[in-house]
Amino acid sequence: MENRYEQYGFYAMLDRMQYINRWGLMRNSRIENIKEHSFDVAVIAHSLCLLHNRFAGEGDIKPDPFRVQAYAVYHDCTEIITGDLPTPIKYRNREITAAYRQVEAESADSLCKLLPEWMRDEYLDLLAPSLETEEQILIHKLVKAADRISAYIKCIREESSGNKEFRSAGESIAESIRSIGLPEVDYFMEHFVPSYGYTLDMLTQTED
């Protein structure tokens, strides 16, 4: 039986995501941490799922947008332990990628042990999805696309501030987004992303 006075550190550990910065090899005009990045990804992933369900045909998989959002919120939580490994290193070769995936799985397990036992399986599924069904694979793809879009938006923001450091990264990320081949991703990029480069006056301007 669970001790009513037992203390658990899971959520306090998640709060420390604010101390882990992204883009460690780049000169940033504004530092971005993985806590705020996760919020951005969750917002975009939720939108992508809404769009996917709107465009889906009869018999196509239509995930719950809030389930997709939950996966997006937790998609980088293991970096509390692993840190944010730069992309060029993470995907340098298959061996490094496979080893990093194993470290991620072990990190997810370590984090979940900071929860009451009856909660662990629920959170382990969020931190380390099994990808055993078509729906899980689709959710993973939507979250991954949202992650890419968030990174591209970061590049837009940096360029807007006059930082040319992110120009090449932005071009590379844009190409990777185009190659995803999902209509919901293309729609988001066409209709929502351009406004991230707007000024406040442009964003708040209304048509008569």
**14 DSSP β-pair partners:** none
Domain-embedded: residue 125: yes
State the Cα–Cα distance between residues 185 and 100, nearest whole angstrom: 27
In terms of Cα–Cα distance, which of 41, 205, 71 is closest to 137? 71
34 Cβ contact list (under 8 Å, min separation 6): 17, 20, 21, 22, 76, 79, 84
pLDDT of 99: 75
CA pair distance 155, 58, nearest whole angstrom: 37
Residue 49 lies in a domain: yes
Q: What pLDDT is stored for residue 179 in this prediction?
A: 96
Residue with tokens 């101390």: 19
The pLDDT assigned to 94 comes to 78
C-alpha–C-alpha distance, residues 109 and 13, integer Å: 13
Give the predicted TM-score (pTM) of the model. Answer: 0.90
d(CA 113, CA 124): 9
Residue 71 lies in a domain: yes
What is the pLDDT at residue 62? 97
The pLDDT of residue 31 is: 95
Would 4 be classed as within a structural domain? Answer: no
DSSP classification of residue 179: T
pLDDT of residue 71: 98
Is 29 contained in some domain?
A: yes
Tell me what pLDDT residue 158 has.
Answer: 95
Decide if 208 is inside a domain: no
Domain that holds residue 85: 10-201
Cα distance between residue 151 and residue 175, in whole Å: 12
59: left (phi over 0), alpha (psi -120 to 50) or beta: left
- pLDDT score at 91: 62
Q: Which two tokens stand for residue 46?
A: 């939720």
pLDDT of 90 reads: 66
Supply the pLDDT for residue 143.
98
> Treating both helix axes as pointing N-terminal to C-terminal, what angle do 94-112 and 117-127 enclose, rounded to 10 degrees?
150
Who's near 62: CB < 8 A, 6+ residues apart? 52, 53, 56
Residue 3 falls inside a structural domain: no
User: Residue ranges of the chain with pLDDT lower than 70?
Assistant: 1-5, 84-92, 100, 206-208
Q: For position 23, what pLDDT does the model report?
A: 92
Is 197 inside any structural domain?
yes
What is the count of structural domains for the chain?
1
**CATH number, position 26:** 1.10.3210.10
